[in-house]
Amino acid sequence: MARTLSAPVTVAFDYTRSTGPVLGRFLTGLRDGVLVAGRTSEGEVVVPPLEFDPVTHQATSDFVEVAPVGTVTSWTWVPEPVKGQPLDRPFAFALVTLDGATRPLLHAVDVSSPEEMSTGMRVRVRWAEERQGAITDIAAFEPDPGGDGVATTAPGTDEPVTGVVTPVALDYNYAASPEESAFYRGLNEGRIVGQRCPACQKVYIPPRSACPADGTPTAEEVELSQTGTVTTFCIVNVPFLGQKITPPYVSAYVLLDGADIAVLHLILGIPAEEVRMGMRVKAVWKPREEWAFSLENIDHFAPTGEPDADYDTYKQHL
């Protein structure tokens, strides 16, 4: 058995950014199939243009169009491309100084082996089939066979580019701590496992690698009761994306008997307006064949019918 449980997880978010006038001008140029550089106070012609001059700190206002053809000033081979790079087969990243510019642009060069790359080689832009105002409108550079790198398709609009959306998705193999692994393995067997701090005797569920009060590892496993007390709750009336239960329903903190921290779970089997602080509830498990290493093995908590707990028994946990 592996020491810890792990599972793949992908964290994804589309970053939406406004461009401002300088980068907006550059990206509008890409959309239109032209390369826009900015001139600095020291006479450098920089592409992409810098938003502010590195010496005077004034906003860049002197723009100049440069050629879609240029010279490689440095390069590196990419033997194992990662997801999202301009090409999904081995290629070169290069610094390319475009004709008319004095500073290089970072982009990909589409060749099949490092033997085809050299510093000083001439390359030209290969435009993406559809251009939308992003650095990826340049699909890649390719060795210059004498063409002019002129875009052959017209943009679909003449509105200036004012924003970009950059999708970011990161893949992880997410491991649980040994303590969390014990918790999830317990759930897979129909048990709720916490751990006790040897210093303050508090019982944590899910167990943590250290007691947050004392910083002491919590080694002693404690199997907890399947019965507990609602300490506080809210009635969910608002629908949202991905909601699994039709509102209104109740989300509550349940303090399991023997635990010192409440767990968040659903309360079902009782009208929402009848749920109350101090109500005694018990875990209702899904059918065994649906169990996994998950807190979702517990479908919900339902009333036990016992008298409500005294406020004093849970007031420390609010």
Partner 1 sequence: MRDVAVVGFAQRQMPEFDGSPTCVELLVPLFAECYEQTGWTRRDVGFWCSGSSDYLAGRSFSFVQAVDAIGVIPPVNESHVEMDLAWAMYEAWLKIQTGEVDTALVYAFGKSSAGVLRRTLALQLEPYTMTPLWPDTVSLAGLQARAGIDAGLWDETAMAEVANRSLTDAEKNEWSIRKGGSSVAELLARPVYADPLRKHDCSPVTDGAAALVLAAGDRAREVRDRPAWITGISHYIDPMGMGTRDLTRSPSAQRAGAALDLGGVEVAELHAPFSHQELILRRELGLADDVTINPSGGALTSNPMFSGGGIRVGEAASRIWSGEAGKVLGHATSGPALQQNLVCTMAADVEGAAN
Q: For binding to partner 1 (CB under 8 A), which residues are involved?
A: 2-4, 6, 9, 11, 15, 17, 19, 23, 26-27, 46-48, 50, 54, 73-79, 82-86, 93-95, 103-108, 114, 117, 119, 134-136, 164, 166, 168, 170-178, 180, 208-217
Minimum CB distance to partner 1, residue 246 (Å): 28
| Distance of alpha carbon 154 from alpha carbon 120, whole angstroms | 31
DSSP H helices, 67-120, are none
Task: Choose between 97 and 226: whose C-beta lies nearer to partner 1.
Answer: 97
Minimum CB distance to partner 1, residue 142 (Å): 16
| Distance of alpha carbon 195 from alpha carbon 220, whole angstroms | 5
Beta strands in 163-306 (DSSP E): 163-175, 193-196, 203-204, 220-223, 227-236, 249-256, 263-267, 280-285, 298-303
Minimum CB distance to partner 1, residue 40 (Å): 9
Q: Which residue reads 């106070």 in tokens?
A: 41
Minimum CB distance to partner 1, residue 12 (Å): 11
Task: Choose between 56 and 76: whose C-beta lies nearer to partner 1.
Answer: 76
Task: Choose between 143 and 303: whose C-beta lies nearer to partner 1.
Answer: 143
- CA angle (7, 11, 17) in 5-degree steps: 175
Task: Choose between 133 and 228: whose C-beta lies nearer to partner 1.
Answer: 133
For residue 141 the two structure tokens come to: 């550079």
Minimum CB distance to partner 1, residue 140 (Å): 10
Q: How far is CA 22 from CA 49, 56, 106, 132, 210, in A?
A: 7, 16, 18, 17, 50
Task: Choose between 181 and 226: whose C-beta lies nearer to partner 1.
Answer: 181
